[in-house]
Amino acid sequence: MAAFNRSELADLNVFMTIIRRRSFRHAAHELGVTTSALSHTMRNLETRLGVKLLYRTSRAVEPTDAGTLLAEKLRQGFAMIQDGLDTLDLHRESPIGRLRLNVPRDAAALLLAPILGEFTNAYPQLRLDVIVEDAMIDIVAEGYDAGIRYGATVPQDMVAVPLTGTLRWIMVASPGYLARCGIPQAPQDLLQHSCIRMYLGDKTPYKWELGNGPRQQRIDVPGHFSAADTETIVNAALQGVGVAYCLSNRVQQELADGRLVEVMPDWACLGQPLCMYYSSRRQSQPGLRQLMDMIRLKTIGSSLMEQYIEPAPAGWPGRSEI
């Protein structure tokens, strides 16, 4: 092999990005270059190394046997380089670099939206990339530095840091719907109502969890409308479609102004907090500590930072891929 030169590290990073994304188009978008530029880089790298590294078809990109071996070794090397760079963050007054997060919609609205302006103004040298999606993914394989999820959905090999206190899941409906269809008083009454059903991150329907401890019930509620995100569910409830199930924090304003009414408050369900999580193999990520501190400071004194309780039984909302 020819002597290592300073451009080769960048070319190898391009190769690893393509391997991770399995797509020239997605890799180009992540790196901020054109697909033709990536193709040119890979051709030059393969010529320089004298080995074909990728199989490229119209539908996918796959590594050759040589490419697979190289990628395995490079993952270890790039991880060591990243750890070395991360340690420098401990000696800076302000974080520098790029922080990539994957978060669910509820976390984006409740935790990130209130502090985005303050955070970006405080750390102008940090680039914050946030992808909002509810499906559970492998954040390491997808190239994220950290993610936010409900407590028990965090993989066991990850570090999880609570950002909130216990979360309260409630049922709400519009005054018009309740005047038309009556007010449910007990869990079994929901079987006679139109409920706005919820899909989980894996597209399966979610059974509502009502109450806590030994009295907790899980009900597969009936209804003619289903959605996978809280905003759509709340909008449907506002329009009188039926009874909705959601985090109390997401409907504070609607409850305060009377557009929604909480029903069966004695059957509200308490679940574990939203947590920031990241790989236990990473020592630090630029700006992550500052972001967590700012989120937690904002939640102190709000309903998102309630007193902690013992973990709820298996089956509470935090254990599902919402």
- Of the candidate CATH numbers 3.30.450.70, 1.20.1090.10, 1.10.10.10, 3.30.70.330, the domain formed by 6-88 belongs to 1.10.10.10
Mean pLDDT of each 10-residue bin along the chain, 322 residues long: 64 88 85 88 89 83 90 82 66 75 92 94 92 87 89 83 92 97 96 93 84 92 92 96 94 96 95 88 77 88 48 36 28
> Residue 187: which of 176, 174, 171 has the closest Cα?
171
**Interior angle at CA 244, CA 238 and CA 249, nearest 5:** 85
CA distance 218 to 211: 9
pLDDT at 5: 63
CATH T-level assignment (fold) for domain 92-166+272-300 = D-Maltodextrin-Binding Protein; domain 2 (3.40.190)
Contact 231, 107 (CB under 8 A): no
* Domain residue ranges of the chain, discontinuous segments joined by +: 6-88, 92-166+272-300, 167-271
pLDDT at 303: 57
Q: What six digits make up the tokens of 23?
A: 């797509």
pLDDT at 74: 87
Q: Which CATH superfamily is domain 167-271 in?
A: Periplasmic binding protein-like II (3.40.190.10)
pLDDT at 248: 92
Contact 51, 89 (CB under 8 A): no
Domains 6-88 and 92-166+272-300 are alike in CATH topology: no
Q: Considering the entire predicted model, what is its pTM?
A: 0.65
